Structure 1
Amino acid sequence: MTPEPNSLHTGPTRLKVVTFNTWKCDGDYPRRLETMCEQMQALDADVFALQECFATLDGSTDTARTLAQHLGMHLHTAPARRKPRWFQGGWVDSFSSLAVLTRSPIRSGDRVELPSSVADGGRVAQICSLEVAGRSVLLVHAHLSHLEGGGALRAEQLRALLGRPVWMPRHDIALICGDFNASMDSPELARFLEPPWGLVDAHEQAGAGAKVTYHTPEGQGLNLDQVLCMPSCSQAPVVCVGASVVLNAPAQPSGVFPSDHAGVSVTFSVG
């Protein structure tokens, strides 16, 4: 993958990135989709990295496409996890895909198969190269294994991504984000914050404190969704200037939440 040319800008560029699990077609999907459209519009983000994007095989329903059209954004989709799902009173052949939405055109986008297992159902990642205000951006987007006790598999999946030769071309800023189904201080992921990978938790670096992005049925709060910087692949000065948990409030007056996950928003200053 070829990085974009270096920017001629002398001042920093703002880049706002949001990662969010859209929860397939579960719950009150029509109202949830309306809520997603409204709340995502209000975030004014440059990039959305979306997981579990429901899409029927016949194309009649497509979460990512609907959101992209509503927000007026460019779309790159990585179809994944095809299977029958219960939707509007019947079983439909469908995908639970990854999608990247951007304000600027996506220069290139690849779909990458990740290590998986039969029980895991097949995992993929996206690697997208784009340009924001003249700055080249490398976005790596993944949804790691959800299996209980699947820490070793999650580590293998992340290691496979970080070991790809795509890292050789450097961009102004390089990010990896998504639903990792684990916190960065978990035994399987904490090692990636250390050399040789040296990933940086952008939410933490911004001083936003601890975060919860998912609650179990028992009410336990978990930190599963991450936005990480890859300094070794970034050639411009990058500062995390703001971060927050988003898309975590019910619509009014319906009381419908956008998803069972909250999103994570990080704003960067590049250059």
Structure 2
Amino acid sequence: MNNKIKIATFNIWKNDGEFPNRIFKLNNELKSNNFDIICLQEDYESEEFSSSKYLNKSLEFNYISTKTRRKVRNNQLSSSNLTILSKYKIKLIDEIFFNKNEKEERACQIIEVNIKDKKILLVNIHLSHISEQERISQIKKILQYLKKYNKLYNMTMFCGDLNALPNSKEIALIKENAFRDENIQFSHKDGVTIDYIFYKSDEKIKVHSKIVLKDYSDHYCLVSTFNFK
């Protein structure tokens, strides 16, 4: 197999900013960066337009989307989805909803990625921005759920917009459960890091992380390249 996997996580900011023009411009950028897997948060979808479906027209990746945070935006009913775009075969294992059907509903996707002889369990998440305790509760629920799956996979990944700073209790809780991350750059225009790609594996893996694509959202795109030895 190709021993290198390039994974990105990117909050694409619903329909805010110069929308949809910034999504149109982002299309070519995603293709030229040659990502293998893209985890999207705040992926806008209405009856008239879907950001991820538009972006995937040129990528032609495997596609799984979870509708969440449905409400009226600019006089139109829309959702702010979690979406996975993958060059490799993917399967939805489960969706976990927090505060379902409430104004600040949050969710996560649990996805299986098959890359020849490797099986990866991938969590794509957007945690609450309201309170530390709410985020801790959400993380605990996910970690408890993952316990029954971890041993079945070569690597487990925990990606997305966590709305938590690197020195927070939320991030400490994830690291206490043997997850690691390599990014040291800011992931948001306000000069903070709140987006992560955590991973856990018994295999020897070399990981390089960096920030790219700073002009298309209030978040920046975080990409990690995993080299299996």
TM-score category, normalised to shorter length: over 0.9
1:115–1:156 contact (8 Å) kept in structure 2: no
Matches within 5 A, 1:107-186: 107-114=91-98, 118=102, 121-147=104-130, 150-164=131-145, 165-186=147-168
Residue 9 of structure 2 is aligned to residue 19 of structure 1: yes
How do residues 1-271 of structure 1 correspond to structure 2 at under 5 angstroms?
A: 13-56=3-46, 58=47, 60-86=48-74, 91-114=75-98, 118=102, 121-147=104-130, 150-164=131-145, 165-194=147-176, 197-203=177-183, 210-216=184-190, 221-230=191-200, 234-240=201-207, 242-248=208-214, 257-271=215-229
The one-letter code sitting in structure 2 at the alignment partner of 1:211 is: Q
1:184 partner SS: coil
Q: CA RMSD in A?
A: 1.9
Q: Percent identity?
A: 26
Q: Secondary structure at the match of 1:29?
A: coil
Letter in 2 for 1:170: L
Gaps of 5+ in 1: 1-8, 204-209, 249-256
- Measured after TM superposition, the shift of residue 235 of structure 1 is 4.7
Write the deviation string for residues 140-196 of structure 1: whole angstroms up to 9, x where unpaired: 11000111xx111111111110100543442112111000011232133223212xx
| Distance verdict in 2 for CA 1:151–1:116, change over 3 Å | farther
CA distance in 1, matches of 2:173, 2:121: 22
Native 8 Å contact 1:141 1:178 kept in 2: yes
Residues 110 and 52 of structure 1: CA distance in aligned 2, closer, same or farther (over 3 Å):
same
Asked whether the equivalents of residues 139 and 170 of structure 2 are also in contact (C-alpha less than 8 Å), the reply is: no
Aligned pair in 2 of structure 1 residues 133, 225: CA closer, same or farther (>3 Å)?
Answer: same
Q: For residues 117 and 64 of structure 1, what CA distance do their matches in structure 2 show?
A: 22
Residue type of the alignment partner of 1:153: E
List alignment gaps of at least 5 residues for structure 2. none
Tell me the matched-pair count.
228
- For the 8 Å contact 1:115–1:157, the answer to whether it is kept is no
TM-score, structure 2 as length reference: 0.92
TM-score by length of 1: 0.79
